[in-house]
Structure 1
């Protein structure tokens, strides 16, 4: 029987929502859907009901490895009684690759990971249809290589603001989610972008079932940071921007590396095949894929990491497959082939992944096809004379192209389509990191209880030590959830925080304005956040770089 490890018994229940006391003293929550009964847990405060590790697809094992997810199904017992699933314990994360395979090996996690976590107010599941709550769906980051959704906890979001249903999803990563077979032929038994298809399947499950958990499936906002932000953008662009699975989007620090076509993955695929000992003479592509399906996880992970070390542009990221994605994200945005929904987006002040002061070296780490003409143009757009040092110029070029400019492009596109959108600059550093820069993912520390992620699904939560830290974290969450509720971060925010103006490219008092999110200083209770006008030269650089999107494929 599918998902037998969750099945604890078969019975009939009449009520859709039941609280009962477990023998350990824990209060359990039981919710009945059309096909199954889920048994979660209620928090000590009584405000929150949590359901960890709900399967949304069948385990992608055996012949399902490297294939599109199969929607989960449950077998009925005698008399068509529904299955009961215990979903009180935090489930295994998907198999991880290290962000830097030269320093540490990956492989932790499980292939049986196509789950989602639901955080809902305890009262929500008893609401009538007209009282259903808006839903936030979070897609984690980690370069499409790593990420454990439990690293970004949401219990405190619902405890503080018990008026939203929140879902975080697991999806296949690294070689299991984003290896591509070069022919792109279905006959090879291979589906490109399997990890992204996982996300789509999770969204379909949520749309179908979230009402049972108190959520309104007509008011879904997707949110993600870094690779999660890239995923949000890709959902906006998928199938020509013709989706109906969500109504709003939050895209944080959108990761925008160069994407390849399936045909361009040939050398990468064959390298993995050889290192996994699946490159036997006479093997067809289908034979190679079948062989990869027989290999142990450790064998595939070592092959995946060897490929990363061999060629830094061989990434496990989405590909332009001609079906889900007709072209690269910026090209599609420039053409307006995108879902038209309200958007909240932005980036941190200093994020960049530059390692040297050589423009060519840095661009070729992220983009496989920049020509000498393109590199020369980058040097003109980011001249050393315009920055404190040559390294700073390179860092700006990489940081804006890879992580910051997509937000500007996104709000401009939505504004042209008549959709109100908001942009921010996050300007508070993670206090546990060295230096004074506001680095990539700094906002995660503040929004998720001092979260710092490590390799192989590990993470550490650092308690806040000052009331001002608690205040700033609450302010951020309130802005986010106000947007979820009303498409406007101002609608239900805290007293005393500044008004966040919608983006406007035209003339007027709110011309090119964005919110700078910052902790207050001193002993006042006022917010430290403020509104600023986007510097024209920064926006002009983004416009100039975007004109090269078709050539360097981002």
Structure 2
């Protein structure tokens, strides 16, 4: 994606302050012990929170661009009342930050902002647990999204309070982003081979920390569910096939992200070429000695000039952490013992309309940044059209969605290529591998009367399901225009009821490996013969082979990692 506002092309969220340390009385009902030392949390009505707990040593100095190392031990009781620092990133301009970002000027490019609370010493996690709960609570470990270059566990979107009230223990965390966590620097110095997966290694380190420490907080280390959205969803999918995560978790939930968001070795090489061309950093010594802001300047300059900046950073396939062909690994049954919920949203790419002053679609329309950014490559269109024996992919969609406008067909094509198709294919492959799979499509749409005049109805955009899962339907998250007015209305009871059902389904799954239960719509496992999809809308319904004609258009296409031109 050509870099105009590409650093904002993700659900980038923050809301953090630096942790502090202190000594408290050894006996307290909000204290817990970890392998590194004792922590003191905070009781908020009926949920205890622990924030900013280090799960790895600071990746600074000699640790920069190296795999995560165990956290250092501390004496006394550590204050866990505040979030840890956000990992270095540019601020997403559509997200309100609790502290004013500072400016960073780029030569020949736009002005960007960096959260003032960002710091490379950022590898910490946060825990929400029901107060007075019994031991061995099911654990839900969330991986945040943000295209692997923005985001933080401290985002108000990921507040685990409401979800914890369902009788689960919720954990989220930060991991290294952008070139700090996903730049492959091994060609500059062999000592750093594999650095392109350091952000993913951080995620594995957080999972191992939970496995080893969560029992002290009342969690069950033998019942861990990993779940994530967007980049977090792709990360969860990767953990399912990674040989490095065997035995570390029991269940998985993948929301709007999959193997297609991972990076090929070819793309990783082009990313490094872009970084080397973007500034004065030419050697490993330069990367090691640069300041945090200098590294961010190089990253942002490279993203500004890249053809597809949203694909510059991601976990790498063909590595020790992720097999070269994750689709085939899944199909072979490598994760057959792990039940999975997987799905996407009906109007995913309309999220990026929010980055245009007139809410035009960056991938379909001419917008503030110029011509549309091609997310669906021309060669992919040609290959899929040929597989369907038609002259163009649009002709295939004219048959699949009769009566739809040309623009609506175009939007559907991009949605299916980037999010919907990969989710269905994952369900197919996991079922073929012998795994239990539950497929969903989130399709809730805010009533038209709350959409501001002159603003298009964006529908169920990317990330729209997050507040429904976490039970946060309030003014903290204004994902689409007008939704704050809807939340304040009596009609919001419909959305809040849907949120209760989704939150229960997710927590039921974490408890039992099955989302079904009281006050949850009947949800059948995915099979190739019936292909059931639970469509989450105001009246959730189980649909057999949902949008079957659109699915069939892509039946011959592999939704594995695509070698985008960076």
TM-score, scaled to structure 2? 0.78
- 1:381 Cα deviation after fit: 4.9
Q: Which runs of 5+ in 2 are unaligned?
A: 1-17, 94-105, 351-361
Q: Do structure 1's residue 107 and structure 2's residue 114 form an aligned pair? A: yes
Look up the SS of the partner of 2:142 in the other structure: strand
Task: Give the aligned partner of residue 161 of structure 2.
Answer: 156
Aligned to 1:356: 364
Q: Cα offset for 1:543?
A: 2.2
Task: Measure how far apart 1:350 and its partner are.
Answer: 1.8
Equivalents in 2 of 1:7, 1:445: separation in Å?
Answer: 32
Q: 1:313 aligns with which of 308, 312, 315?
A: 308
Query: C-alpha displacement at 1:55, in angstroms?
Result: 0.5
Alignment of 1:367-516 (within 5 A): 373=383, 380-383=392-395, 385-386=398-399, 387=401, 388-429=404-445, 434-436=455-457, 437-447=459-469, 448-450=472-474, 451-452=476-477, 464-466=488-490, 467-491=493-517, 493-494=518-519, 497-506=520-529, 511-516=530-535
TM-superposed deviation, 1:256 = 5.0
Summarize the Cα distance change of 1:489–1:143 in structure 2 as closer, same or farther, 3 Å threshold: same
How many residues are paired up? Answer: 492
DSSP-derived class of the 2:460 partner: coil
**Structure 1 residue 536 displacement after superposition:** 2.3
Quote the Cα distance in structure 1 between the aligned partners of 2:512 and 2:49: 24
Residues 385, 393 of structure 2: 8 Å contact kept: no
Q: Cα–Cα, structure 1 residues 549 and 229, in superposed 2: closer, same or farther, change >3 Å?
A: closer
Give the secondary-structure state (helix, strand or coil) at the position aligned to 1:307: helix
Q: For the Cα contact (< 8 Å) 2:38–2:76, is it kept in 1?
A: yes
Report deviation, 1:92: 2.1
Aligned-partner Cα distance in 1 for 2:348–2:423: 13
Residue number among 524, 533, 557 corresponding to 1:545 in the alignment: 557
Q: For residues 193 and 286 of structure 2, what CA distance do their matches in structure 1 show? A: 11
Q: Alignment partner for residue 89 of structure 2, among 88, 96, 102?
A: 96
Write out per-residue CA displacement over residues 165-190 of structure 1, whole angstroms, 9 at most, x where no aligned residue. 11011111112111112638642476
1:54 paired with 2:53, answer: yes
Q: Give the C-alpha shift of residue 246 in structure 1.
A: 0.6
Q: How far off is 1:400 after superposition? A: 1.4
Over the residues paired in the alignment, what is the CA RMSD in angstroms? 3.4
Distance 1:364 1:355 in 2: 6
Equivalents in 2 of 1:439, 1:371: separation in Å?
Answer: 23
Change (3 A) 1:371 1:322: farther
Which residue is 1:518 aligned to? Answer: 537
Distance in 1 between residues matched to 2:188 and 2:387, nearest whole Å: 34
Asked if structure 2 preserves the Cα contact closer than 8 Å seen for 1:67 and 1:189, the reply is no
Q: Is the 8 A contact 1:257 1:367 kept in 2?
A: no
In our comparison, the structure showing a higher alpha carbon Rg is 1
CA gap of 1:235–1:308, structure 2 versus 1, over 3 A, is same
